[in-house]
Structure 1
Amino acid sequence: MSLSTDFPSSADLAGKPRPSGVPARWKTFGLGILLPALIALGWELAVRAGWAEGRLLPPPSRILDTLWALAASGELWGHIGITLWRVGTGFVIGSAAGIVLGAASGHSQLVRALIDPSVQALRAIPSLAWVPLFILWLGIFEESKIALIAIGVFFPVYLGVSSAILSIDRKVVEVGRIFRLRGWTLIRRVLVPAILPNVVLALRTGLGLGWMFVVAAEIMGASQGLGYLLVDGQQLGKPDQIVAAIIIFAVIGKITDALVVILTAPLLRWQDNFTGRS
């Protein structure tokens, strides 16, 4: 008899097929965009009716015009592409380091005693405090920007992985040993499934911080990127460009977060969690 990570769900145990998730996903998507759509419509109507000036916070129509002009000139796609590349590269580096060191810290008391106090102290340093140091070390080129993003991603991933390992129920490990699972087999079939949900959450948190840190990174002498659009709009007094860049950050950040959820969903298909009342 052996353990398996493909645990049956309550629907499977009851002998009932799972309902299709497509209608539910579309319903969730529609509800998700309802609030921002209502806010945008309300602000547009308020500006058009003369109830608000709309100079410092432009109405959606002006923001769409700005986005269209940037997209038509091809400038927007260049800014989006370089920012995506920076965040993607920093995310891969930071999450890989966070997973490795977090796993070592969670698994070994000696490693945890050696590195965890220093990591926790460094985690408290504000993102902008790293900027002058990285400029001094790496210049204003891509290396300093990617390093700053990787730093932002590293800390939540490290903390999530190490905490997930330390929170594993001892009884789960004992059950695995009862079934004579040892070494890598125990890790693969018991420990990894136990920590995967928290690891995925840590990756999503790290990705979110990566998007926050990229703004600080692109202040470091960048001539391209969505962060550069923010700075350029502030210097030239273009609030419509600033808000447009913020909206693009929000949309792309949400899309990349959804991609992480989709890509990791097969690893968590054995879960049958409570999803809340509709």
Structure 2
Amino acid sequence: MKRIEPLSAARRGVPRWLRRALGPVLLIALWHLVSITGVLPQEVLAGPSVVLTSAAKLVATGELQQAMWVSLGRALAGLAIGGTIGVSLAVLSGLSRLGEDLIDATVQMLRTVPNVALIPLLIIWLGIGEAPKIALIALGTAFPLYLNVYAGIRNVDASLIEAGRTLNLSRSAMIRHIILPGALPSALVGLRYSLGIAWLALVFGEQINATAGIGYLMANAREFFQTDVIVVCLAVYAFLGLAVDFIVRTLERIFLSWRPAFSGT
């Protein structure tokens, strides 16, 4: 039997990965063009060739790899702590009216406080070691997960809840088989938001007396006006963020394969 393909799939001639890569490639080509023509001076922003040379030197000495692992470890540690707190509070608040009354108002108040403004307090409370850096990331990642998991729980289809009651499911079975799976799409969206905020918080956190990490490399490069090294560090931040986001997108495809979704035309 001949397989019937959607019209949108039949129209595609260029592979999707190639189309997705086209934008960044054109941007880098434009950057290279304005650099070699002198429109963009090297002291303002180093060109791609200089940046690649600097990256190769940092890789050869092992400095870049070490900084990447240190920064990634901080981001994941902060995400683990903040995610655990955010999801736990969201479950308590979403499943119980009493929990909502006790938790939600406080969380809504605290999430409006800029995390960067808390840096002086974190330094006073936790010192200038790793603790304030991880705490800043944890604070930044907890709130998006709380909001999305809470919204996901409260927006579960009421007809599914009624079906569970008709089947005489216990409260624990209702939570395990209906409520939490129904909230999973919102939870994964919250995870993607939290990952983005984790990298932003990491940039600020690594300015707190860091002695290792991507932020430490950037701080040293700033002192010596090394724009090429700064661009390398920014590219590493972007690469790490993209890699972790790819992992979350993969999890979405695995755990949400049951949910039909629009994929564009």
**TM-score, normalization by structure 1:** 0.87
CA–CA separation in structure 2 for the residues paired with 1:144 and 1:275: 41
Gaps of 5+ in 1: 1-15
Give secondary structure in 2 for the equivalent of 1:274. coil
Q: How far off is 1:18 after superposition? A: 9.7
Give secondary structure in 1 for the equivalent of 2:71. helix
What residue in structure 1 maps to residue 92 of structure 2?
104
Does residue 223 of structure 1 match 2:173? no
Does residue 183 of structure 1 match 2:171? yes
What residue in structure 2 maps to residue 47 of structure 1?
35
| Contact 1:87–1:211 (8 Å) recurs in 2 | yes
Q: How far off is 1:232 after superposition? A: 1.7
Does residue 89 of structure 1 match 2:77? yes
| Contact 1:127–1:216 (8 Å) recurs in 2 | no
Matches within 5 A, 1:123-142: 123-142=111-130
CA–CA separation in structure 2 for the residues paired with 1:136 and 1:76: 30
Question: Which amino acid letter does the alignment assign opposite residue 267 of structure 1?
Answer: F
Q: For residues 265 and 240 of structure 1, do their structure 2 counterparts lie closer, same or farther at Cα, with a shift above 3 Å needed?
A: same
Gaps of 5+ in 2: none
Q: How far off is 1:266 after superposition? A: 2.3
CA RMSD of aligned residues (A): 2.0
- The percentage of counterpart residues that share the same residue type is 35
CA–CA separation in structure 1 for the residues paired with 2:5 and 2:182: 24
Q: How far off is 1:149 after superposition? A: 0.8
Matched residue count: 258
Does residue 60 of structure 1 match 2:72? no
What residue in structure 2 maps to residue 34 of structure 1?
22
What residue in structure 1 maps to residue 202 of structure 2?
214
1:77-111 Cα offsets, whole Å, 9 max, x none, are: 11001001001111111111111101111111222
Does residue 245 of structure 1 match 2:245? no
Question: Which amino acid letter does the alignment assign opposite residue 186 of structure 1?
Answer: M
What residue in structure 2 maps to residue 5 of structure 1?
none
What residue in structure 1 maps to residue 138 of structure 2?
150
Give secondary structure in 2 for the equivalent of 1:58. coil
Does residue 74 of structure 1 match 2:54? no
Question: Which amino acid letter does the alignment assign opposite residue 180 of structure 2?
Answer: V
Matches within 5 A, 1:192-207: 192-207=180-195
- Give runs of ≥4 in structure 1 deviating > 3 Å: 16-19
Give secondary structure in 1 for the equivalent of 2:150. helix
Q: How far off is 1:127 after superposition? A: 2.1
